[in-house]
Each structure stands twice: as C-alpha cells, then as structure tokens.
C-alpha cells in the first residue's frame, strides 16, 4: 500500500522529536488527531495543524484526555488511522480508554511524551517514569506494544512502525517518547513515499450478513470494517462473543480475553526489536532505551577506552519485553547495567529475566537529568568488581549519594 504523496515530506530536514513524530504519522497514513494540549507535547499539535490542510487530516481539541482517547477509538472505527498525543498526567487519564481500545481491538497510536513525575512533577524535564504504567496502567489483563525512540529520526521511523503494528494486531500501540527526545532537534531523513512500508487495515471481505467483528483469524487477530459500510455490527467493552454480544460467563471471559493476550504473546519474536552491539565478548551489558541512549553510548565508549569489555542492548520495543534475549545474555555476561530516568522500572524486568545468572546494577537518573555518563561508567566498574552474584538489584549510589 502506498501513501499520499503530499503527506510524505521526502528529503532531509532538521526536526525536533515532536515534529518528526507528526511527519511519521502522516507518512504512515494517520488522518485523525484528537488531543488536549499539555506540556511538553504541545509542538506536535502545532505541527499537525500547520500541515493538516494540505494533507487533508482532521484535528479536534477535546475537553480532556479521557475524551481525546475515546474520540480516537471512535474515529478509528470510521476507517481513519487515528492517534492522540499526551504527557504523563494526560496518559494517566487515558488509562480507562486504553482498556477500551484493547477490548474493542481498535488500532490506534498513543504518544506519551514523558515528563518528570509523579503528578505534576516537572513538566519541562525528561523522565522515563511511565514505562510500567504503559504496560500495567489499565485495569484487567491486556498486552501492549510499546516503542521507545531515542532520537527524532527514530521518532519518525518508530511512528510508522507503531501504526503498522496497531493495524497488524488491531491493538493500541504506545510510543514512549520523553521531553528530551521531543525537543531535541536533529537531522531527519524522510524517504520517498514508495519506500515506506505501510500495513493496510485488515478488512473483512465477505458477505455483509456474515461479518463477525471478533471472529479471529489464525493469528488471533479479528478483521475490521468501517462504520457506514452497511455491516450493522455491534461492539462492546463488556466481555463478548464473536458477534460482539455480551456474555457474562467465565467461559466467555476466557474465550474473549485470553486470545487478546495471545495475539501479542505468541508473536513476540516478530514484534521485538533491539539493537545489540558488542555483546559477543562482553562482560558487562548495558541495557537502555529512549533518552538514556546518549549518556549510555558515551559511557560505553569511555569504558571501552579503559579496556572494559562492554556491550550494549538498546531496546526499541520495550513491551513486549525481550525476555529470551536477556536470559540468553545473562548466562554469558557478568552483569547488566541499566540506566533509567526513574527509580527502577525496566530494571526489575531485567532482574526477572536474568534468573540469578548475572548481577543487575541500576543507575537511577532520578536525581541527575539525562546527562550522567560518569555515573554509568562508575556503575560499569562497580559491576566489574563485584565477584559474587547478588540476589536482588544493586543500586548504584552516585558520588553525592542520597542527601
């Protein structure tokens, strides 16, 4: 499937992460944005509006984030690729409708430009404190696909990927950006429209009266139709059968919800992407994602200069988590070093998957912004010197320590 030429700004540009995201969305075929303005995601809406007339895309500023995501889910059923952008506080408000998106199996994309939290936190400061929330924030069982870009270029690429995933698996996909990536201006190369792979929506093509909105294909993903095409379908957030009719029985709950998880869990190998550098001979592997990438790659270089064998694993998709990869690495390496701009979230996943085979050293950026190369280098040294395998996460205490 090819994209609208006007929507793809082929060429080399200098764009911020927020701007690159909108370009990516247009290139991916997104034509509907509903949002409520919030720092630090505002520039996305400005960019969208600037370009919306020539692309032919629709925007509505809703009264809050709850309604923004509700509108996005509604719009998606009209056949338009839809998305919303927000930051931590807004993302928290969206939690109920994230569950609705999962239950109605509606393709849509949510961007969370993370700020420093909790609550109002510091709106102008980067954070990575919403990572676990993306996975667990709504009630009930569900699986999400979460991408974590670390640069404007990745923001562009991952946005297209996110829309493709959401169409392929009929699920909300979350892009976990952050204030740093969102405002960083860098070169972004936008390829020609025909070079961009777009996954089309999985439409049902059969007799109108035979359509069942939740009848699953072999890969557990059901097929969609648009509102107004005469299928007269019904969908509900209640536990439902293939027809979309509610049935309040535990058998139906199993029938309905378990496959929603399977469609992601059984396909993790195809979804998970990471960038692995120098892990073959590594003693220490740094696991990082998103905004910490800059400091992490600098630290790796410094440590290599010191003669330490450091490898790196950058997670492009954070959820589903690359369990197998970490387990496999844990058997080979001495320790993992995990820098995050929070007080320990993804690091506990690394701990879980390392099965006591490697130490896990956590470097909290909580106190130090994104630029803490020195801390990471010291943590690498600490990890190297630790002979015994410790039970539990070793938290690296920065020089100043806890005040």
Complex with another protein: residue 196 or 225, whichever CB lies closer: 225
Burial class of 393 by CB neighbour count within 10 A (0 to 12, 13 to 18, 19+): middle
CB of 12 to another protein, least distance (A): 26
Locate 215 and state its tokens.
Answer: 């009848």
Three-class DSSP category at 116: strand
Locate 93 and state its tokens.
Answer: 């408000």
- Cα 29 from Cα 181, distance rounded (Å): 23
CB of 243 to another protein, least distance (A): 7
**Phi and psi torsions of 63, nearest 5°:** -80, -20
Complex with another protein: residue 157 or 349, whichever CB lies closer: 349
CB of 19 to another protein, least distance (A): 15
CB of 182 to another protein, least distance (A): 15
- Cα 167 from Cα 170, distance rounded (Å): 5
CB of 356 to another protein, least distance (A): 3
Element (H, E) at 360: strand 359-364
- Cα 111 from Cα 93, distance rounded (Å): 13
CB of 64 to another protein, least distance (A): 4
For residues 240 and 246, the answer to whether their CB atoms sit within 8 Å is: yes
- Cα 182 from Cα 113, distance rounded (Å): 7
Complex with another protein: residue 103 or 190, whichever CB lies closer: 103
For residues 67 and 107, the answer to whether their CB atoms sit within 8 Å is: no
Q: β-pairing, 172-178 with 145-147? A: parallel
CB of 267 to another protein, least distance (A): 16
Locate 327 and state its tokens.
Answer: 């387990």
């Amino acid at each position: 499937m090819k994209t609208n030429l006007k929507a793809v700004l082929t060429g080399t540009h200098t764009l911020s992460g927020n701007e690159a995201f909108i370009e990516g969305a247009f290139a991916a075929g997104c034509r509907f944005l509903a949002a409520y303005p919030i720092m630090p995601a505002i520039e996305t809406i400005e960019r969208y509006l600037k370009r919306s007339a020539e692309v032919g895309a629709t925007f509505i500023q809703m009264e809050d984030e709850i309604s923004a995501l509700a509108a996005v889910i509604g719009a998606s059923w009209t056949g338009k690729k839809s998305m919303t952008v927000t930051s931590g506080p807004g993302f928290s408000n969206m939690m109920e409708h994230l569950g609705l998106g999962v239950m109605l199996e509606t393709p849509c994309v949510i961007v969370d430009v993370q700020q420093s939290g909790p609550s109002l936190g510091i709106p102008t400061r980067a954070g990575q404190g919403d990572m676990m929330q993306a996975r667990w924030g709504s009630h009930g069982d569900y699986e999400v696909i979460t991408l974590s870009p670390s640069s404007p270029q990745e923001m562009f690429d991952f946005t297209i990927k996110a829309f493709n995933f959401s169409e392929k698996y009929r699920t909300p996909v979350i892009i976990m950006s952050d204030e740093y990536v969102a405002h960083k201006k860098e070169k972004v190369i936008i390829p020609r429209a025909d070079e961009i792979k777009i996954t089309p929506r999985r439409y049902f093509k059969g007799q109108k009266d035979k359509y069942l909105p939740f009848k699953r294909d072999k890969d557990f993903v059901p097929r969609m139709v648009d509102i107004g095409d005469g299928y007269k379908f019904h969908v509900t957030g209640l536990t439902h059968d293939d027809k979309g009719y509610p049935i309040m029985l535990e058998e139906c709950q199993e029938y309905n919800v378990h496959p929603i998880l399977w469609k992601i869990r059984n396909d993790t190998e195809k979804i998970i992407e990471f960038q692995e550098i120098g892990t073959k001979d590594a003693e220490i592997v740094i696991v990082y994602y998103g905004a910490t990438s800059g400091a992490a790659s600098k630290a790796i270089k410094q440590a290599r200069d010191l003669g330490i064998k450091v490898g790196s694993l950058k997670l492009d998709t954070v959820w589903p988590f690359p369990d197998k990869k970490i387990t496999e690495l844990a058997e080979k390496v001495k320790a993992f070093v995990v820098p995050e701009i929070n007080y320990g979230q993804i690091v506990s996943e690394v701990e879980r998957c390392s099965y006591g085979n490697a130490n896990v050293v956590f470097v909290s950026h909580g106190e130090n912004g994104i630029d803490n190369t020195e801390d990471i280098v010291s943590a690498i040294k600490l990890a190297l010197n630790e002979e015994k395998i410790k039970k539990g996460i070793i938290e690296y205490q920065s020089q100043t320590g806890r005040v």
